[in-house]
Amino acid sequence: MVHGLSKLVPFSAAESRGPWSGRPLCRPWRASLRKILPLETVPVGLLLLTITAGCAQPHKADNDLNRMTLKRRAMECLTAAIRYQANPVVRVEAVEALESSGCNEGLPWIRAALLDDHPAVRFAACVAVGRCVDPVALESVRKCVDDHDASVQVAALFALHHLGQTWQTGRIPTYLLNHDDVTVRRNAALILGLLDEPGAVKVLARAMRDRDAGVRQHALEAMARFGNREARQELAFMTNAGIGSEEVFAIGALAQTGDPVYLETFRYKLATATHLETRLAAARGLGRLGSDEGFETALKALRTRKPLINDPNDPPAGQILRVRQMAAAALGVIGRSEALPALGELMEDPADPRVQVSAARAILEILEADRERALPFGPAE
């Protein structure tokens, strides 16, 4: 599944069909954007951080200081990534990570990304502004409604909706059902799934008749998020497809529902799946449901430096990238601080800035989980 923005720069066939196209982590609009450029075109070395994770120090004061340093470094990594001109994929992932971190200090960087010269970054920034409900960005979002790229227009309408200006939201189904560009229709399906408007189910059901499989798949996931029983049944069936990308997609989509009924499904796939990426998707799904059963699987995969299979259409570097990013995502959701040293080391590694961003995001998620656990009455509802 490829966002409409990714067509602006060629990407390899292997990346377009790989398990990441099944979107195993985080936001339903995220993963395909990282395929804008093939791996081989990405200059490495976002930044080299000198970090001592120090999470096993015996004294609380030292431990707190080390965690503060780690958080600061993680934010430095993401703000460096959002300025990384060599590849828009890195900037997109940085926007998404800053949005998910919940840190107000990331908002100015997200606002600045609304003016990025690449539509993929503007798309991600509009969605992030909407999810953060950032009224300071309202005027910039309004300008994005008239963006020359139709997918950015859709994302801007999403942002306006969450900023209380809902009178244009009704335009989004038109993009999904009538736009000539298939990739715009895919993005519109993703956006409708994020609107949290149950009335969108009828529109999405019509999109299930779209001639493009990608549109149908995005619509299926969105309908599952809204609680549609048939969509969830179809996804549950797909978890046993035997095709890694389909299994990863289905598990990720079911995990987005947050429904504990799928706990045993994820547990079974973690224990029995042939594909490591399927097991990592299951580990993350379990983490979303409060289980850390996939922790060891994800921690081991984080350090992988070998391809999983010998496939000329799926380069080793691409396989390693996917696995390490999926492992970091699973560890971030699981939230165990024992993963911080390994994630800190990965964030220091300049081999691929996309992996650095994934590690930084996971670090912030774990530190936030620790903070919430330390609150006297637990995390706020």
Residue with tokens 């992988």: 304
The tally of domains found in the chain comes to 1
pLDDT average, residue stretch 320-333: 96
108 burial class (0-12, 13-18, 19+ CB within 10 angstroms)? middle
pLDDT average, residue stretch 74-100: 97
Q: The domain containing residue 138 runs over which residues?
A: 84-226
CB atoms within 10 A of CB 12: 18
pLDDT average, residue stretch 364-374: 88
- With respect to residue 149, please indicate whether it lies within any of the assigned structural domains: yes
- With respect to residue 190, please indicate whether it lies within any of the assigned structural domains: yes
Phi, psi of 357 (to 5 degrees): -65, -45
Band (pLDDT 50/70/90 cuts) for residue 198 is confident
Expressed in angstroms, the distance from the first to the final Cα of the chain is 33
Dihedral over alpha carbons 131, 133, 134, 140 (to 10 degrees): 70
- With respect to residue 122, please indicate whether it lies within any of the assigned structural domains: yes
- Asked if the model's pLDDT at residue 237 lies above 50, the reply is yes
Phi, psi of 241 (to 5 degrees): -70, -25
CA–CA distance, 186 with 192 (Å, rounded to integer): 10
When the pLDDT of each residue in the chain is averaged and rounded to a whole number, the result is: 84
CA–CA distance, 300 with 305 (Å, rounded to integer): 11
- With respect to residue 197, please indicate whether it lies within any of the assigned structural domains: yes
**Greater pLDDT, 137 or 22:** 137
- Asked if the model's pLDDT at residue 31 lies above 90, the reply is no
Band (pLDDT 50/70/90 cuts) for residue 249 is very high
Band (pLDDT 50/70/90 cuts) for residue 317 is confident
Across 55-64, 118-127, 282-291, 341-350, least confident range = 55-64
Of 238, 319, 250, whose CA–CA distance to 282 is shortest? 250
Q: What is the pLDDT of residue 380?
A: 56
CA–CA distance, 251 with 71 (Å, rounded to integer): 30
CB atoms within 10 A of CB 191: 30
Band (pLDDT 50/70/90 cuts) for residue 318 is confident
Q: Which tokens in the block code for residue 253?
A: 């989509």
Positive or negative: CA dihedral 24, 243, 37, 190: negative
- With respect to residue 156, please indicate whether it lies within any of the assigned structural domains: yes
Of 77, 82, 86, 75, whose CA–CA distance to 37 is shortest? 86
pLDDT average, residue stretch 155-172: 96
CATH number, domain of 151, equals 1.25.10.10
Q: Using an 8 Å Cβ cutoff, are 320 and 305 in contact?
A: yes
- With respect to residue 202, please indicate whether it lies within any of the assigned structural domains: yes
- Asked if the model's pLDDT at residue 51 lies above 50, the reply is no
Q: Using an 8 Å Cβ cutoff, are 120 and 88 in contact?
A: yes
Across 50-64, 227-241, 253-267, least confident range = 50-64
pLDDT average, residue stretch 172-196: 95
- Asked if the model's pLDDT at residue 276 lies above 50, the reply is yes
- With respect to residue 29, please indicate whether it lies within any of the assigned structural domains: no
Residue type, 80: A
Q: What is the pLDDT of residue 12?
A: 28
- With respect to residue 307, please indicate whether it lies within any of the assigned structural domains: no
What percent of the chain stands above pLDDT 90?
70
What does DSSP assign to residue 340? Answer: H
